[in-house]
Amino acid sequence: MKRPITTMQRYDVKTIWLHWLTAVLVIGLWCLGQTIDWFPRGTARVYARSTHISVGALLGTVHLYRIWWRATAGEHLSAAGSAGLKIIAKSMHVALYVCMLATVALGMANALVRGDNLFYLFKLPAVVGNNKALRATVEDYHACAANLLLILAGLHAAAGLVHQYILKVDVLGRMLPALGRR
């Protein structure tokens, strides 16, 4: 039988909002990143790439704020399950945080290596000139990190569903208060 979550076992509202805002930004950025080259060269592609870079900078800012919030004021709940599952959960959260930071940093490096034009308002300096090999390498690393981040996020979501519906541990109520019981 499910153990109901009490008010003390829920994350605070800000932590919940930061979690879901991060999830939406990651998914949106990944989708846009996968489709940027579908846009015709010129204005449409410049705006798509500019949007991707701007939203990526927003993700970086939200993520740094989220780390600060968690370290200073956010609600801390222990992981659900056995000692082994708790270690896996902690490792997954660390991997998500590190991978997100790496993805954003590689995205910033990618924009600087490319010398991207941002909404025709200004052009970022191409810090290494016209080094196409480095440009391709940094772009590939950014794409790999983004793919890994999406895989980790998918595993994180799947683990929440397994806990909720197979192990019958009401963990979704921590991040989805409407599912928790009062």
Query: pLDDT, tens digit, for every residue of 100-154?
Result: 999 999 999 999 999 999 999 999 999 988 899 999 999 999 999 999 999 999 9
Alpha carbons 88 and 85: distance in angstroms, whole number: 5
Enter the pTM of the model: 0.90
CATH tag, 7-175: 1.20.950
Decide if pLDDT at 7 tops 70.
Answer: no
Domain residue spans of the chain:
7-175
Average pLDDT over residues 34-54: 97
